[in-house]
Amino acid sequence: MPLRTIEGIQQALSASGNSKAVYVLFGIALLAVLAGLTYFLVVLVRRQNRLQGAWQDLGHRMTQWKLSREEQDLVLELATRVSPWSPVDVLDSAQTFERAVHEHLKEAAVRGQAARAAAAVRAVRTKLQLTHLRGTAYYSTRELPPGVELELTVRDSEGYPPLRAVVKGGREDLLELVRLEPADGGLKGRKVEVCIFERDCALRFEAQVVAVDAPKATCLLTHSVNLSPAGLREFHRVSVGKPVTFRAAWETPEVSREGALEDMSGGGLAVRCPCYYETGEQLVFQIRPALWLPEDEERPQKPLEDREVMGTIVNTRMMDGGRCVHHVEFRDLPEADREYVLALVRRLEIATAEQPKR
């Protein structure tokens, strides 16, 4: 296309009889095209270098996690499958990891290699410490810890009452449930809608019943990565107990109030402080993860950057001594901020769960 443009300019100017002007303008046009091509090549090279650096970073991180050669090969396959332009996401993002695992195991099942593939995924999941986390947001039914209660409703059938069961967990290929009530072998092959109930978390997903052992009151369901809120509060809160600074949205950035962050979830937080503000006001929190998360050499992760996150006060609880607890809800957060908060809460939960061991 640029060459046709140049030829058109040359022909048009040649017709005017001013050959000197023709060559000058032709040279300018040629330089412009060359400059554009050079810029394109520079951008392409830089992008390639960044991509190469990202894959090298993934290799370095896998070495830090002390993954075996087989485990590294699996992580490389997972990253290639769902995040080739940002491969480290398969280690840093639970959502990316779960999506990649789901696709990988579906393909392995078609090839008749489900058991072997599931064992390999379980080994990697264990080393990356992505097992049995309670709270934040579940991205996959593979994350459900043992003991979570479920309610199953058979689709397109009025002959079955709602069923209850409890997650046994531990399998990558299928979701294993125990204490199925009522236990009915006729459930095999039926599609069910499942609700998860855990503390203040309620989620819904659809699955198919693969097998039922009525005498033992157990069953197996297909896993799902399509979990949606089921009408109750979506996020489990994690206790924090750390200092936090904030201000009202209408105050200048120079204003900095101090408070204690009591708890936090993907949907909001609670801050204890002097009663500065009223219900309905928007607060801007200065999130500094390095002040809340201990360093952990055994769990190498990309540090979370400092960030401002805005929330709205939904209610206030008065305390003694002229202080109060503001309950804040994150409303209409940009997707990047939402993912940031979920990643932070997930790491806070891991750190909190490990405190008694230290």
**pLDDT tens-digit series, residues 131-184:** 655 555 678 899 888 888 888 888 776 667 788 899 998 899 999 999 998 888
Residue in the block written with tokens 């095209």? 33
Can you give the pTM of this predicted structure? 0.63
d(CA 213, CA 177): 10
**pLDDT tens-digit series, residues 32-89:** 777 778 777 777 777 777 878 889 998 998 998 889 999 999 999 999 998 888 888 8
pLDDT higher than threshold 50 for residue 344: yes
pLDDT of residue 102: 94
* Whether 202 contacts 232, CB under 8 Å: yes
pLDDT higher than threshold 70 for residue 19: no
Sign of CA dihedral 127, 133, 136, 142: positive
Domain ranges of the chain: 2-61, 65-127, 141-229, 238-357
- Model confidence band, residue 358 (pLDDT cutoffs 50, 70, 90): very low
CATH for 141-229 is 2.30.110.10
Structure tokens, 133: 């986390």
238-357 has the same fold as 141-229? no
Tell how strand 228-229 and strand 238-248 pair up.
unpaired
Structure tokens, 22: 């023709």
Q: Which of 3-7, 18-22, 199-203, 266-270 has the highest mean pLDDT?
A: 266-270
The domain defined by 238-357 carries CATH number 2.40.10.220: yes
pLDDT higher than threshold 90 for residue 101: yes
- Model confidence band, residue 235 (pLDDT cutoffs 50, 70, 90): low
Beta-strand (E) ranges in the chain? Answer: 149-154, 163-167, 174-181, 191-198, 201-213, 218-222, 228-229, 238-248, 257-265, 268-274, 282-287, 307-318, 323-329
